[in-house]
Amino acid sequence: CLGDNYSWLHLPPYGCNAIQAPHFDRIVREGVLFRNAFSGAPSCAPSRSGILTGQDIWRLAEGANLHGSLPGHLPTFPALLEKAGYRVGYTGKGWAPGSVEAGGRTSNPAGEKFAGFREFLAQQPAAQPFCFWYGDVYSNPLGKPVVKEGVNLDTFRIPAFLPDVQATRDDFYYYFQRLRRLDAAMGEMLQALERSGQLENTLIVFTADNGMDFPR
């Protein structure tokens, strides 16, 4: 489950109480919370290239660029799992933004695209293992009303490198609403796994491509 542009310190298990994230809390409670992990690059496509290949971005040629391509000769973990017999798919934002074809590939490095995880799981053969990439997608909130419900910024500390003015706080309302939607989506996937009987047999990783999309 890959979030799009959010920073680790803004979820409750890391000490931030601006929102509730019950499904992320559950993953932490039943799994492992990482406190010493780092993004491979502060930019979408390069970071995703690093995640998919397990390589530092300076080893990835055009894959180190935003709006570039990921060279086809570079192996990715979904492709390796598919060769090993796994069924592979993704929804939302896979490897992006960039040109899949320019890298000599015929499909997204994250796998075959599906409308959602439920659709993918409904078609899953019982005896076959799977690997699914959920790519969080958000729309630009410019011009949309600020929704404050479910977000508490009363004790939230605006980063010192940003001006603590209403416009900045409005941006953080947008930001935390995105995180709430991401947590809700994670909850739906957990529920689908439970109903299919696959939850206890599935390794779930909840992370992000890079930090929050704010200046600096």
For 109-118, the pLDDT digits (tens) are: 999 999 999 9
pLDDT of residue 131 exceeding 90, the answer is yes
**DSSP 3-state of 137:** coil
Q: Report the C-alpha gap between 150 and 89 in whole angstroms.
A: 32
In terms of pLDDT, which residue wins out, 142 or 1?
1
pLDDT of residue 141 exceeding 70, the answer is no
**Which contacts (CB < 8 Å, 24+ apart) does range 175-179 have?**
175/6, 175/10, 175/212, 175/214, 176/10, 176/18, 176/19, 176/150, 176/151, 177/147, 177/150, 177/151, 178/4, 178/6, 178/136, 178/138, 179/3, 179/6, 179/10, 179/11, 179/19, 179/21
Q: Report the C-alpha gap between 46 and 58 in whole angstroms.
A: 9
State the pLDDT at residue 183: 96
* Cβ neighbours, 10 Å, residue 129: 15
pTM of full prediction above 0.85: yes
Of 9, 1, 56, the closest CA to residue 203 belongs to 1
34 Cβ contact partners less than 8 Å away, ≥ 6 residues apart:
none
pLDDT category at 139 given cuts 50, 70, 90 is low
Mean pLDDT along residues 139-158: 87
- Percent of the chain residues past pLDDT 90, beyond the cut: 91
pLDDT category at 153 given cuts 50, 70, 90 is very high
State the pLDDT at residue 137: 85
State the pLDDT at residue 21: 97
Mean pLDDT along residues 96-110: 96
pLDDT of residue 140 exceeding 80, the answer is no
Instruction: Name the strand (E) or helix (H) holding 113.
Output: strand 112-113
User: For all residues of the chain together, what is the average pLDDT?
Assistant: 94
Indicate the DSSP class of residue 198.
Answer: -
State the pLDDT at residue 151: 97
